[in-house]
């Protein structure tokens, strides 16, 4: 199987914590004019035409993320998915079509139109159910809007994922617990919850450096994560990846492919691709030159390519597989890197097994983070990858 990821790099304006590549609507308009979204869709389809040879297997998942894909009118979204379908022909076997959306755009009419365009999974960027926290982050929706959008989306589409962030400036454990209560009352199919990262170049990082906000102490962030995992486990969610939880059978198939070495092609400014072996490709993060290139009569290929060495492949495998509940398949590891590498890994892992942070699967085919070691995941992964 394979997946297609489409990056839509526009947002109404930048959220204060966000390190993803996106530009504001105003900036996009100033560079490409009012019809920037229509031009971008055309450019995406031309990029796909140029890279069709990279898609060798049936495409089972399509993920439109960003940025804010729902800034595009729904008919443009349909034009995009129809255009992909036409171009890949019989390889279109999409079973999971995810659209990222912001709650302020997700009203009943929009959700119906997205569904008509083929979307069967909606990922809503809720981030918090506290209005003061949403304001601090620069989000444009209220908690009430997020609840309404989630409920409408569940009624209409069913398979809905909600994103939350913990460790926000000024967020208390009690406020996090209250956000979790609201999340649980909605009962989405899927939850992604990330600890706030201070990425380079974000407004939060500048505020942190200027001393106008404070980082949440590690101890509090750890308690927040613990509360998250306990509460969702009590509610029947499967903790299938460090930051991801789903009701049974409702894992994100597209994102799971990132953690298990499945090939995917990423289209759009700033999108990344992986061929399933050693080749990673990255498009430049420059909307204007992306559009101009692919709308030119003869577009150039613009991605940069990286061929992963054995060491990089090994590190990636440890980093991604150990984040999943299934863990790292030892036979595959030995197959790729040799029996010697496997025995070194198992020797290194023994220290963590003794501490209760790592365990073997019951048939000893996989090494994985033990439930008691989830808070130590980062340290375990770094140490086993020998960083
Ligand atoms: S968090 Fe989402 S909406 Fe906010 S700037 Fe980043 S990509 Fe845009």
DSSP 245-290: EESTT---HHHHHHHTT--EEEESTT-EEE-SSSEEEE--S-HHHH
The confidence score (pLDDT) of residue 2 equals 87
Sorted by sequence, the CB contacts under 8 Å of residue 97 that are 6+ apart come out as 61, 62, 63, 64, 81, 118, 119, 120, 121
Structure letter (DSSP) for residue 70? G
Domain extent listing, the chain: 2-259, 310-384
Is 155 exposed, middle or buried, given 0-12, 13-18 or 19+ CB atoms closer than 10 A?
Answer: exposed
ω into 6 cis (within 30 of 0): no
Classified by CATH at the fold level, domain 2-259 comes out as pyruvate-formate lyase- activating enzyme (3.80.30)
Element of type H or E holding 316: helix 310-321
Closest residue (by CA) to atom 4 of ligand 1?
A: 15
Element of type H or E holding 288: helix 287-295
The confidence score (pLDDT) of residue 386 equals 78
Please give the angle made by the CA atoms of 16, 71 and 36, to the nearest 5 degrees.
105
Element of type H or E holding 60: strand 59-66
Cβ(41)–Cβ(75) under 8 Å? no
- The Cα 314–Cα 200 span in angstroms is 27
The confidence score (pLDDT) of residue 375 equals 87
Closest residue (by CA) to atom 2 of ligand 1?
A: 67
Between strands 328-329 and 366-369, the pairing is antiparallel
State the distance from the centre of ligand 1 to the C-alpha of 27, rounded, in angstroms. 15
The confidence score (pLDDT) of residue 1 equals 66
Evaluate: CB of 198 within 6 angstroms of ligand 1. no
Q: Where are the beta strands (DSSP E) in 128-254?
A: 160-166, 190-195, 238-241, 244-246
State the distance from the centre of ligand 1 to the C-alpha of 277, rounded, in angstroms. 31
Q: Where are the beta strands (DSSP E) in 2-54?
A: 2-8, 10-11, 23-24
* C-beta atoms surrounding 34 within 10 Å: 8
Evaluate: CB of 20 within 6 angstroms of ligand 1. yes
Which residue is it, tokens 């750890």? Answer: 222
Name the pTM for this structure: 0.95
Backbone angles phi, psi at 363, to 5 degrees: -95, 10
Is 249 exposed, middle or buried, given 0-12, 13-18 or 19+ CB atoms closer than 10 A?
Answer: exposed
State the distance from the centre of ligand 1 to the C-alpha of 18, rounded, in angstroms. 6
Sheet holding 366-369, edge to edge: 328-329, 366-369, 358-360
State the distance from the centre of ligand 1 to the C-alpha of 162, rounded, in angstroms. 14
Per-residue pLDDT of the chain (387 residues; tens, 9 = 90+): 689 999 999 999 999 999 999 999 999 999 999 999 999 999 999 999 999 999 999 999 999 999 999 999 999 999 999 999 999 999 999 999 999 999 999 999 999 999 999 999 999 999 999 999 999 999 999 999 999 999 999 999 999 999 999 999 999 999 999 999 999 999 999 999 999 999 999 999 999 999 999 999 999 999 999 999 999 999 999 999 999 999 999 999 999 999 988 999 999 999 999 999 999 999 999 999 999 999 999 999 999 999 999 999 999 999 999 999 999 999 999 999 999 999 999 999 999 999 999 999 999 999 999 988 988 999 999 999 975
Backbone angles phi, psi at 324, to 5 degrees: -95, 155
The confidence score (pLDDT) of residue 270 equals 97
Evaluate: CB of 68 within 6 angstroms of ligand 1. yes
Domain 310-384 in CATH 1.10.10.920: yes
The confidence score (pLDDT) of residue 287 equals 96
Backbone angles phi, psi at 212, to 5 degrees: -90, -15
């Amino acid at each position: 199987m394979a997946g297609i990821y489409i990056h839509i790099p526009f947002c109404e304006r930048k959220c204060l914590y966000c390190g993803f590549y996106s530009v504001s609507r105003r900036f996009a308009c100033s560079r490409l004019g009012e019809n920037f979204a229509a031009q971008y869709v055309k450019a995406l389809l031309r990029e796909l035409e140029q890279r069709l040879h990279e898609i060798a297997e049936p495409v089972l998942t399509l993920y439109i993320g960003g940025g804010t894909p729902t800034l595009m009118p729904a008919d443009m979204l349909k034009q995009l998915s129809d255009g992909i379908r036409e171009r890949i022909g019989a390889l279109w076997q999409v079973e999971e079509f995810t659209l990222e959306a912001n709650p302020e755009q997700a009203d009943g009419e929009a959700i119906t139109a997205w569904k008509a365009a083929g979307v069967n999974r909606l990922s809503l960027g809720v981030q918090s159910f506290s209005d003061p926290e949403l304001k601090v982050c620069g989000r444009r929706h209220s908690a009430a809007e997020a609840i309404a959008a989630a409920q409408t989306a569940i009624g209409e589409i069913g398979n809905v994922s909600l994103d939350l962030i913990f460790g926000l400036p000024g967020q208390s454990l009690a406020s996090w617990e209250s956000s979790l209560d609201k999340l649980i009352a909605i009962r989405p199919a899927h939850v992604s919850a990330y600890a706030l990262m201070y990425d380079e170049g974000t407004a939060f990082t500048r505020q942190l450096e200027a001393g106008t906000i404070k980082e949440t102490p590690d101890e509090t962030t750890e308690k927040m994560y613990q509360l998250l995992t306990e509460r969702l486990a009590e509610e029947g969610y499967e903790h299938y990846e460090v930051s991801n939880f789903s009701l049974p059978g409702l894992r994100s198939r597209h994102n799971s492919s990132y953690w298990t070495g499945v090939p995917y092609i990423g289209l759009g400014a700033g999108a990344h691709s992986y061929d399933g072996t050693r080749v990673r490709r990255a498009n430049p993060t420059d909307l204007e030159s992306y559009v101009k290139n692919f709308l030119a009569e003869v577009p150039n290929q613009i991605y940069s390519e990286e061929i992963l060495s054995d060491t990089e492949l090994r590190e990636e495998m440890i980093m991604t597989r150990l984040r999943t509940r299934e863990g790292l398949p030892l036979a595959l590891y030995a197959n790729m890197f040799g029996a010697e590498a496997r025995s070194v890994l198992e020797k290194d892992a023994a220290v963590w097994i003794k501490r209760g942070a790592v365990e073997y699967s019951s048939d000893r085919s996989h090494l994985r983070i033990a439930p008691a070691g989830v808070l130590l995941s980062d340290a375990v992964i770094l140490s086993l990858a020998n960083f």
